[in-house]
Homo-oligomer: A and B are copies of this chain.
């Protein structure tokens, strides 16, 4: 194993009827709170009412900021910072999925920053302080509820960038699986692929030739997410499925899967961020397109880890390593199609006219994230496998 440091201080409150606990937790962080949410789904499924009532009962003074979109944008973050400063809030609560939590984190850091909040995402500044963030999670996918990441899109420059800071760990995350009952089947499928991709980025890119703790952790969670997704798609109100999916997605990207394996990279997120930045495609749907293509491309260079994946996740065993690796990738791609997550640009109705620009955008991400080994031609070749 390689040296590492691990500390995830977030308090997780998980289970049925836990949304109403937000007030009790929140009042430890101040008097005035900015409550941030998205396009209003939390009003339709009653999460909004329960949370606001709990916060009012706890005596908190609430300012609301809504309209966060999937692939949250920097202009909206800036508007949130202005409102938060004007309202003199002490802390923030995001109610929603990963986009809402990511934006809440960005606002929490931006409030205390002398300069434009995009500075963090462009690599110009690092976060030196942030207001406390709490959240009520309503979509199981990104893991933002228990990690230090925030990903924001700059609509003007067509850049979707991420930033990592220990200040971004939420203080408290409330995970009530019943809040995800109303997530439609397409977003459920995209979310599953997102969580699986979080696990596989590290799994396929670490160079440790013996990492049984981390590899088994990943393989176990990938199998579990596949099973839970199928339960949910059969019955969207399967508590078994929704609860298992929710905790698995959190565990998929909280740092445990990569602690000790040394350097890992996120090439699939690199490739996907450009798709989201250009076409505003749902993140999980974008990953579902690039992941099988990237796996195919990489397995041609070196396939031992893809053989392990095929054997341990899909139970595939043939006498031919190349065939085993290819069968494993195909099994995963078939599964994405089975759950109706797109595996090509055409299935997602994306135009195919900007491969060069896309590749340049992805290369810029590669530079920012320190991902080596890809020149423009490689990236175009992978994108071509997505056609």
Contact = CB atoms under 8 A, between A and B. Distances in A.
A260 B5 contact: no
24 contacts: A1-B15, A1-B243, A1-B244, A1-B247, A2-B15, A3-B14, A3-B15, A3-B16, A3-B18, A5-B11, A5-B14, A7-B10, A7-B11, A210-B240, A212-B220, A212-B224, A213-B220, A213-B251, A216-B220, A217-B217, A217-B220, A220-B220, A247-B259, A247-B260
A12 interface: yes
Given A2-B15, A219-B220, 14 more contacts: A1-B177, A1-B247, A3-B18, A5-B11, A5-B13, A7-B10, A7-B11, A7-B12, A213-B244, A213-B247, A216-B220, A217-B220, A243-B260, A247-B260
Interface in A211-246: 212-213, 216-217, 219-221, 223-224, 227-228, 240, 243-244
Interface residues of A, number: 38
B8 A8 contact: yes
A9 interface: yes
Contact of A1 (B7, B10, B14): B14
A2 to B, nearest CB: 7
Nearest to A172: B7
Contacts of A22: none
Nearest to A241: B210
A195 to B, nearest CB: 12
A248 interface: yes
Copies in the complex: 2
B6 A9 contact: no
A104 B300 CA distance: 54
Contacts of A223: 212, 216
Contacts of A213: 220-221, 224, 244, 247-248, 251
A273 B228 CA distance: 39
A7 B213 CA distance: 21
A180 B99 CA distance: 44
Interface in A173-187: 177
Interface in A343-369: none
B1 A5 contact: no
A4 B15 contact: yes
A19 to B, nearest CB: 12
A12 B212 CA distance: 19
Contacts of A4: 12, 14-15
Given A217-B217, A220-B216, A6 B1 contact: no
Contact of A6 (B5, B14, B216): B14
A8 B12 CA distance: 10
